[in-house]
Amino acid sequence: MENFNVAILGCGTVGSGVAKILLDMNHELVDRSGKKITLVKIVDLFPAKSASAYNLPLNLFCGGGKDLTPAEASQYIDEIIADQSIDLIVETIGGTGDFLFKVFIDALQAGKPVVTANKAMLAERGSAIFETSNANGAMLGFEAAVCGAIPVIRAISDGFAGDKVVEISGIMNGTSNYILTKMQDEGLDFDTALKMAQEAGYAEADPTLDVSGGDAGHKLCLLIKLAYGVEVDYNHLLIEGIQNIKKEDIDFANELGCNIKLICYARKMNGKIYAAVKPMMVKYDNLLSKVSGATNCVKLENKYTGHHMFVGKGAGSLETAGSIVSDIVFAAKYGYSKKMNAESDFELVDPDNFEFPYNITFSTADYPGITGLVTTAIGDELINIETVSHNRHGSNKTLFSLATMPCTLAQIKRAIGRIRAKAPNVLLDEPVILPILK
């Protein structure tokens, strides 16, 4: 039987999970791929520490199991890329630096398939990587880069090859969803819910990439490329996080029959891409509103086959590793790469021109007739109002919100400008504007 030899670069949380699955499922993978998939080498700076997670054999580690210097690890990586007996490289080092970028390019230029969970690298520097993959006929597998164990990449690229994705909406960061669920269900403030997420192991000591929406933005860029064949610059994508969500926002959402979720949203219409990552009020009858805890969910609206939802664990050692092994089996079995050509003729729409129903929360001075002043300004911008909440008075200020019919953010901003012009000191804080996803 033909051998299919695999090397793993980086054996931390995910890499060690990949090694465990490859070793544990050796016989099953033969049946599924038609080849003997064998883990032959691992490069890691601290082999003993990495091996301990799943009791991995130290003899698989380059250097015989001793700690490596960065220079030694780099030399071993170069040898693996040059070794014609190694058929596929798994990259689980992580990061977007020049050294790792060169590893991707060198491996693909050598004709070796590369499988990775590195969403940041592919979202921020993926153009050259995808081009190199195409030019050399070397598969680039990244199922694990979006939502961990959920097979949404293959669903879009292969399962829906006979259809068109019209709209993407999803919860693609488990940390943020855990925090928002705690705020929703237990009435906690953001800081308390974040601390609980860190204690539960869902949030890093520095949670910025998760709570700012950056991690979700990386994933959305990859799904846009897959679904629409366009390459949206990560740095041009509207990304807003959950760090400014307050208890009163949760309360106003409940009044409207909504839960607040960090939503990845994209839609392609007439050559224009509407895309953003931001907190949205999601209606209870939208199943995304029911996704709780650290769970991820991707909802696709297709032209011919309608709505589809993919729900599961979006992170974790073995969860992410399972998707990587799936790509390894695919490469061993089929040995080809689907070309990822990117269309350049498209327009990324200014978020101010997105048309959504919106909820706007105002914090104002306790000003007689404030509701009338605000609703008049909204109406003057030809925005239809669906509902207005009761005013909440306290500490010499008033809190209230109103929900609009579909309109643009630009209209709302102009209405806020009208309010400030009419009563310059009435707005105590910047109004909180959240789209309503039905």
Q: Could you give the CA distance from residue 14 to residue 142 in angstroms, rounded to a whole number?
A: 13
Counts for the chain of helices (H) and strands (E), in that order: 15, 19
Catalytic residues: 219
In the beta sheet, which residues pair with residue 108?
none
Contact predicate 127/235, CB 8 Å:
no
Say what percent of the chain tops pLDDT 90. 90
Domain 353-437 belongs in CATH node 3.30.70.260: yes
**Digit-coded pLDDT (tens) for 82-120:** 999 999 999 999 999 999 999 999 999 999 999 999 999
Query: Is the confidence at residue 39, as pLDDT, over 80?
Result: yes
What the block records as the tokens of 345 is 């003729």
Average pLDDT of the chain to the nearest whole number: 94
List strand residue ranges (DSSP E) for 48-134, in order: 88-91, 114-116
Domain ranges, ordered by start, for the chain: 3-148+330-334, 156-313, 353-437
**Digit-coded pLDDT (tens) for 326-353:** 999 999 999 866 666 666 678 899 999 9
pLDDT in the model for residue 38: 97
**Digit-coded pLDDT (tens) for 157-183:** 999 999 999 999 999 999 999 999 999
Domain 156-313: give its CATH code. Answer: 3.30.360.10
What the block records as the tokens of 347 is 């327009």
pLDDT in the model for residue 339: 67
pLDDT in the model for residue 1: 77
In the predicted model, what is the mean pLDDT of residues 292-311? 97
pLDDT in the model for residue 338: 64
Q: In the chain, what's the furthest Cα-to-Cα distance?
A: 83
Q: Could you give the CA distance from residue 57 to residue 366 in angstroms, rounded to a whole number?
A: 69
The architecture (CATH level 2) of 3-148+330-334 comes to 3-Layer(aba) Sandwich (3.40)
pLDDT in the model for residue 269: 87
Say what percent of the chain tops pLDDT 70. 98
Topology alike, domains 156-313 and 353-437: no
In the predicted model, what is the mean pLDDT of residues 45-54? 94
Query: Is the confidence at residue 417, as pLDDT, over 90?
Result: yes
**Digit-coded pLDDT (tens) for 153-163:** 999 999 999 99
pLDDT in the model for residue 367: 78
pLDDT in the model for residue 307: 95
pLDDT band, residue 189 (cuts 50/70/90):
very high
Query: Is the confidence at residue 54, as pLDDT, over 90?
Result: yes
Q: Could you give the CA distance from residue 142 to residue 279 in angstroms, rounded to a whole number?
A: 26
Q: For 142-197, give the secondary structure using H, E and C.
A: CHHHCCCCCCHHHHHHHHCCCCCEEEEEEECCHHHHHHHHHHHHHCCCHHHHHHHH
Contact predicate 361/249, CB 8 Å:
yes
pLDDT in the model for residue 323: 97
